[in-house]
Amino acid sequence: MTLRSPWHGITDEAVLEQFLGGDERAFVELMRRYKQPIITCVYRFLGSYDDACYVSQETFVRLYRFAGTYQGEVKFSTWLYTIAGNLARTELKKYRRKYGTSLQQAFGIGEDAETWDIPDESYRPDEQVDSTKITQEVQKALMRVSPSYREMVILRDLQQLSYEEISAITETELGTVKSRINRGRAQMQDMLRELYDELFGTSSP
């Protein structure tokens, strides 16, 4: 016989309400529900386990402090992913400011071209997280995709979120979301050519 959690069957929004009513256990419950997907998502985006842990913790710290600002216009999970995404993007910017620059910064090109910044080539797979060759190669390819494409590919293909949710999380038009996901996938296909050749044979298209 297994003991059921007292929070079983209660929606995230209802748990959040209990937390806002002063029940700290509700906050711990929200953390239990989302720590795994948030840390996975952030790790796939940043490629660093330590940074992913830091950003994920910071996400929950923000949740604790600003839970009262949740308006209920979007799902709780969408709101939480938005916080995590903003923090992860900030972390990436800090990293880039420290170690490199983007084409947009270098040439002052328009907003539309923001996705064509220099991909991160310095990624080395974390073998503890990704033990198989395929996951290592896929993660390596993800890290080389432009960050704004990468974020959307992760949210769509890894987290299985809807286009509408991704649009809300990234505050991007629905059409732009779809095109960026397609471009991101196309970039990844190019990078994973060797893996495809092994799988389909060299005569594959």
Partner 1 sequence: MAPNFPIEPPEDFERNTILRAWVSTMPQVSVPNGFEESVLLRVHRTVMPLWQKLTIAAIGCSVILTLGYFFLFPRPEIVTVVRVPELTSQTVDLYNLPPASVHEMPELSGKPKTQTVSTVKPQKRHGVAGY
Find out whether 191 and 173 touch, Cβ atoms under 8 Å. Answer: no
Which of 73, 92, 67 lies closest to 148 in space, CA to CA?
92
d(CA 100, CA 102): 7
Interface residue with partner 1 among 18, 40, 78, 105 (CB under 8 A) is 40
Interface residue with partner 1 among 74, 158, 176, 178 (CB under 8 A) is 158
Per DSSP, 182 falls in state H
Interface residue with partner 1 among 31, 103, 109, 118 (CB under 8 A) is 31
Q: What is the size of the binding site for partner 1 (CB under 8 A)?
A: 42
Instruction: Determine if 39 is a binding residue for partner 1 (CB under 8 A).
Output: yes
Question: Can you count the helices (H) and strands (E) in the chain?
Answer: 10, 0
- DSSP code string of 82-134: HHHHHHHHHHHHHHHHHH---HHHHH---GGGGGGSPP-------TTT--SHH
Site string for partner 1, 114-153 (x = CB under 8 A): ---------------xxx--xx--xx--x----------x
Binding region for partner 1 (CB under 8 A): 28, 31-32, 35-37, 39-40, 43-44, 49, 52-53, 56-57, 60-61, 64-65, 129-131, 134-135, 138-139, 142, 153-154, 157-158, 160, 185-186, 188-189, 192, 196, 199-200, 204-205
